[in-house]
A and B are shown apart, each in its own frame.
Chain A
Amino acid sequence: VSPTLLLALLALQAPSAEPEGEIVALRGLRILTVARGDIAVGTILIQGRKILEVGSDVKIPSGARILDRKGRVAFPGVLHPLSRMGMLDGSPSGPNLRQLAYDGFDPLSDALAVAARSGVTTVAILPSGSGFTGRGAILKPTGGSRDQQIFEKAGFVRIVLQSGTAAKEALRQALESGRKAIEAQKKTPTAKPDEKTLAVVQFLKGELPAIVEASTPGELLHFWQLMDGFAEFHPRILLAAPPDAYRAVSELGSRHAQVLLRPTLALAPFTRERINTAVELEKAGARVALAPYNDNREALEGLFFRVGELVKFGLPRETALRALTLTPAEMLGIQKRVGSIEAGKDADLLLLSGDPLSSQSRLEEVFVNGHRVFPGE
């Protein structure tokens, strides 16, 4: 019995194991694992939904279906952390603490198919509104029902920062309600926060990360000032950077902020000087994940090209590739499932004709949860 098979058997015995499935071997690949460096020529074994093994000298078990992919480049599926695809919630405005993006999601949306064939295999969908807008979901564009696609029904909270007294007061009150619920729970442990404040409580306790969006970098300063009043909590904050985030580089850096950034080069005002915000932020001490600037085909299919441009202007290649995959997965706390090509992770893979950042590379195949979603069978 080969050690690989033994491992597979062990995995099967684990309580959360997937039902046994056919083993598929992708052979002859250049593998960019993202987590553990590049493998010049290697094999990826997939069983069911999961990656069974990855390496240069993987023994292919007998009975495995072998797919010869000599010369192809394997890359983990891309994570889109700032999406509204498939959302049919009618774009409500204002704060809505109990809202779930899950409830407004259309599993049959064409946008999901576009995402899948563009290499986006994990999507965080945002509930709409402003202020504290409720909780977002995390899904994979596999097709099928809502519950087949969504794997985190309430994966994060979303806060949209707005200027003005009324908006700031509403956000402060929402946070205050969360604090009260937590204090009540400390006094009487049986007391549970009501549905309305649950999301705020989860945010303050750091149980769920928050995607915090600002339209101007100045709003970030207001937000930090507000959060100073809640200093006893240690929430996990992901900042969706405003277009001119470069203005706040030193502040974001000194706070070691986690930043979700659109992959564009900014121009210093009144000049033609390019600013590579991602590079500046990383240098200053912040951590950057890159998000497509939109949900449309152009933005998704052009993502690698735009990221390549950031690399051309100084962003380290490793950082850039990680910023599309493992970094946002870690920020959202789903790195155990997605974000890299490693044994035990979901088999979300892109097979390309060449290097992902080369404009001449073509995306040839996309696997999500071990199934090939592009091209269709």
Chain B
Amino acid sequence: MIQALIVSMLLAQAPPQEEKKPVFVALVGGDIQTVTQGVMKGGTLLIRNDKIHKIGAVVEIPEEATRIDVRGKRVLPGFVAPYARSLGITPASGKVADALDPYSESIRLALAGGITCAYVEPRGQGKGVFGGEPPPSSPGAVIKMSYGSLEGMLLAEPAGISLAAWVNGSPSERYELRDNLLKARAQLEKERDYDQRRTGNRLKPDEKPPRATGIVETYVKLLKGDVTARIPAPHADDIHRAIDLIQEFHLKAVLTDLVEGWTMAEDIGRARAYALVEPRVKEHAPRNSPRPAGSSIEQAAILRKAGVKFALLPPNAAVGTGGTAGRDLMTLPLEAAFAIRGGLDEKTALEALTITAAEICGVDGRVGSLEEGKDADVVVLDGDPFDYRTFVELTFVNGKLLYEKATSPYFSHLKKAR
């Protein structure tokens, strides 16, 4: 009787939950384009739960693993959209975390395009004219295309902040922006001073750490390099102005909407700024312009020569089935193909779609390349990524297979052209 009681007590103490068995998926026999560690032909990529477990020519595959034969296919890291409009979030204002919409059809479309990760901005509370899109006043975030799952969807927030007012704003708005950056700099000095005195045990009794709120708090993160400044700078004068700010505050910054970036590649390189390049941008130089002006298909190649790191964007940074085909995020690798047409090497082009985009968003430690320990965000392509005939066959996010061309309503009826 007592024994039975003890046994039952023991049983009661032991939590009934058992260790969750890891889930393995093995992609076998594909050409693995790791981006950061070269290409492995006919290798195996083993996923364990949500991470890349092993990559190699010979990988021991656990018996319980799901094996997928990808011989003759390309295995790549999922593409990272360095900016996306209304993708995976509702139009609600506030934090992206509170607007995540994991069942959005836009996510399924992005997955069909091989995108596993995107930088998004919540709807701004700024002044919109006639419903026009106001400049976002709240920071952007990086989200995963984890369809159906809120868990693991938010990758980084805040990840970026638009400093559009510096280029497009009125003089007073520009003054305010710089003033807030100065406040953030002072705040950062206070924080460093506090930390130093804390480690030296020189704090006053009951001294509290200095706190910043609102935009200054975000700008402090910006000055620390934890958040990337996004500055639209289409033309040479905008680029000059942006570079002034970047250099004054040593910002981690990315120049967006570039048209004349190719005319100032060296300056952008010296400022250590990143770039978002839209290879298909077209704009005539003004008549009789005294300097190089207008757009150039060589922009990406020229920036590369100047050592500028960049990611790529399509003319329309959204996903959808409307509009002109091939001009949005559903065919992001084709933007790289246009950059290659303008003289860019394929290696840099692939980096621009993956690891550099991740670096700009500050998430390159987690995504953007196929490396052991990184997130299992993987795409399988049926051909060369830069070939217009190539389709995404499989898309994995956080180790879960979330897109299969064979069963997708979008592309299952299309056969690959030879």
Contact = CB atoms under 8 A, between A and B. Distances in A.
Interface stretch (A268-276, A295-303, A306-314): A268-276
What is the size category of the interface that chain B forms with chain A? 20 to 34
What is the size category of the interface that chain A forms with chain B? 20 to 34
Interface of A: 162-168, 216-218, 221-222, 225, 244, 247-248, 250-251, 268-271
A251 B148 CA distance: 9
Nearest to B97: A165
A222 B103 contact: no
B100 interface: yes
Contacts of B57: none
B148 A167 contact: no
A269 to B, nearest CB: 5
Contact of A165 (B98, B101, B103, B148): B98
Interface of A is mostly: helix
9 contacts: A166-B93, A168-B98, A216-B104, A218-B100, A218-B150, A247-B148, A250-B148, A251-B148, A271-B409
A217 B148 CA distance: 9
Given A164-B93, A167-B92, A225-B150, A248 B103 contact: yes
Interface of B: 90-95, 97-105, 108, 148-150, 321, 409-410
Contacts of A268: 409
A211 B282 CA distance: 54
Contact of A164 (B98, B103, B148): B98
Nearest to A167: B92
A163 B92 contact: yes
B94 A164 contact: yes
Given A165-B93, A216-B104, A247-B103, 16 more contacts: A162-B92, A163-B92, A163-B101, A164-B90, A164-B94, A165-B94, A165-B95, A165-B98, A166-B94, A218-B90, A218-B150, A221-B102, A248-B148, A250-B148, A269-B105, A269-B409
A218 B98 contact: no
Interface of B is mostly: loop
A218 B148 CA distance: 8
B110 to A, nearest CB: 14
Contacts of A217: 103
Nearest to B107: A218
A218 B94 contact: no
Contact of A222 (B91, B104, B150, B321): B150
A221 B107 CA distance: 16
A214 to B, nearest CB: 10
A217 B103 CA distance: 6
Contacts of A168: 98
Contacts of B90: 163-164, 216, 218
Contacts of B99: 163-165
A314 to B, nearest CB: 21
A270 B98 contact: no
Contacts of A271: 409
A218 B409 CA distance: 21
Nearest to A270: B409
Nearest to A225: B150
A222 B95 CA distance: 13
Contacts of A248: 103, 148
Given A163-B90, A218-B150, A271-B409, A244 B103 contact: yes
B321 A216 contact: no
A117 B99 CA distance: 43
B275 to A, nearest CB: 31
B89 to A, nearest CB: 8
A372 B97 CA distance: 54
Contacts of A251: 148
A221 B150 contact: yes
Given A270-B321, A270-B409, A270-B410, A218 B92 contact: no
Contacts of B104: 216, 218
Nearest to A269: B105
Nearest to A268: B409
A222 B90 CA distance: 13
Contacts of A222: 98, 100, 150
Contacts of B321: 270
